[in-house]
Structure 1
Amino acid sequence: MKVTFFRSLVAAFAAVSLVASGAALADVDLSKSKVSAISKQMNVPTEGVFKKFAAQIKFDPANAAQGSAQLSIDIASFDLGDKMYNDQVAGKDWFDAKTYPQATFVSSAIAPAGGTKYNVTGKLTIKGKAETVTVPVTITQSGATQTFDGVLPIKRSVFNVGTGEWKDTSVVADDVQIKFHIVATK
């Protein structure tokens, strides 16, 4: 049950995965966008969704290196579908949302990886711990709409998510996948 908190961590990481969009800042459609964290508790996959996040994206496929992405996730908005679990994940043993209310990702480089795929490198910060990560992102364009999809695998232990009795990864796995689907218009 407390194990589900680690998904929150993963979801926060997923936000990091966001890649830049549009030559100018793009408007992110939060109603069509989603950031989630997928983890395993007793080897059973569990997914939680971050209900509140903000993103600033600038991306032009003809000039990818000049793109940028910034994502900020409201950690307390992590939803596992049960208030008791949500409260546990927001608590000190997991995300400690009162002390660390946001997880962030700020890109530093975007590089083409073939076709519609790009590698977005940047700083992911969760619980005050910043790590450089590279997120593989697939970008689809339809008219003025750009869609950014990706999955960023992280280890919750690197970000000190799951302390005390939850530091042990035998019940809640250390591996978390941050999954994102971001829809933006230029």
Structure 2
Amino acid sequence: MAETATKTIWKVDPTHSEILFKVRHMVISTVTGKFEKFDGTVETEGDRLETAKVEFVIDTASVNTGVADRDNHLRSDDFFNAEKYPQIRFVSTALKKINDQEYELEGNLTIRDVTQPVKLKVEYGGMVKDPWGNTRAGFVVTGKINRKDFGLKWNMLLETGGAVVSDEVQVQCAVEFVHS
């Protein structure tokens, strides 16, 4: 834990967290992927979550859908262009408490150097002291973005008129943050 005055810094525990996305494929099915490398911090006043300032960085080259050819296509300029744009960034602008378990997180998401405001739903899983004396907090963060808003425009049309890849991307992050 790094504290200055009343500020508490929480670090994401990547071994107990995952960043997933789901995209409709050819209108009839859904493809799920994840990012293997990411880092994030939350700064709060003490343990008061409603004061949270969130920053998150995802390594675009770490995309993994379980299919090497598809992963390489996602890393290419058709999608993330991981060589030129190695990171996806999220910086919060507001966290609104709905009730004891639900929050609304607003912030700026940057993909391919395009920044757009997003709203995400946050489900608070709770806070516990682990066996090593660290305090942990768990969250599930969900939302939807339009990939074309961020310059991920590649697509093909099917004979039936549907798109190979949906514009809408569902995001689901199960994250655990820790401070000692």
Q: TM-score, normalised by structure 1?
A: 0.81
Per the TM alignment, residue 60 of structure 1 is displaced from its structure 2 partner at its CA by: 6.1
Q: Secondary structure at the match of 1:85?
A: helix
In the alignment, residue 111 of structure 2 is paired with which amino acid? I
Counterpart of 2:102 (choices 117, 121, 133) is 117
- 2:149 and 2:88 map into 1 onto residues whose CA distance is 14
Partners of 1:64 and 1:111 within 8 A in 2: no
Structure 1 spans left out of the alignment, 5+ residues: 1-22
With a CA cutoff of 8 Å and minimum separation of 6, indicate the structure with the bigger relative contact order: 1
Partner in structure 2 of residue 31 of structure 1: 15
Greater share of residues in strand: 2
Q: Does 1:89 align with 2:107?
A: no
More helix by share: 1
Query: Partners of 2:83 and 2:30 in 1: how far apart?
Result: 27
From 74, 78, 86, the counterpart of 2:59:
74
Where does 1:1-186 land on structure 2 (aligned, <5 Å)? 24-42=8-26, 43-59=28-44, 63-143=48-128, 144-163=135-154, 166=155, 170-186=163-179
Unaligned 5+ runs, structure 2: 1-6, 129-134
Q: What does the per-residue CA deviation read over 1:100-145, in whole Å, with 9 as the maximum and x for residues that have no partner?
A: 1111000011110122111111100011110111111011223222
| Residue type of the alignment partner of 1:83 | A
The CA distance in 1 between the partners of 2:65 and 2:172, in whole Å, is 15
Q: Percent identity?
A: 24
Opposite residue 34 of structure 2, the aligned amino acid is V
Alpha-carbon offset, residue 170 of structure 1: 1.2
Alignment RMSD: 2.0
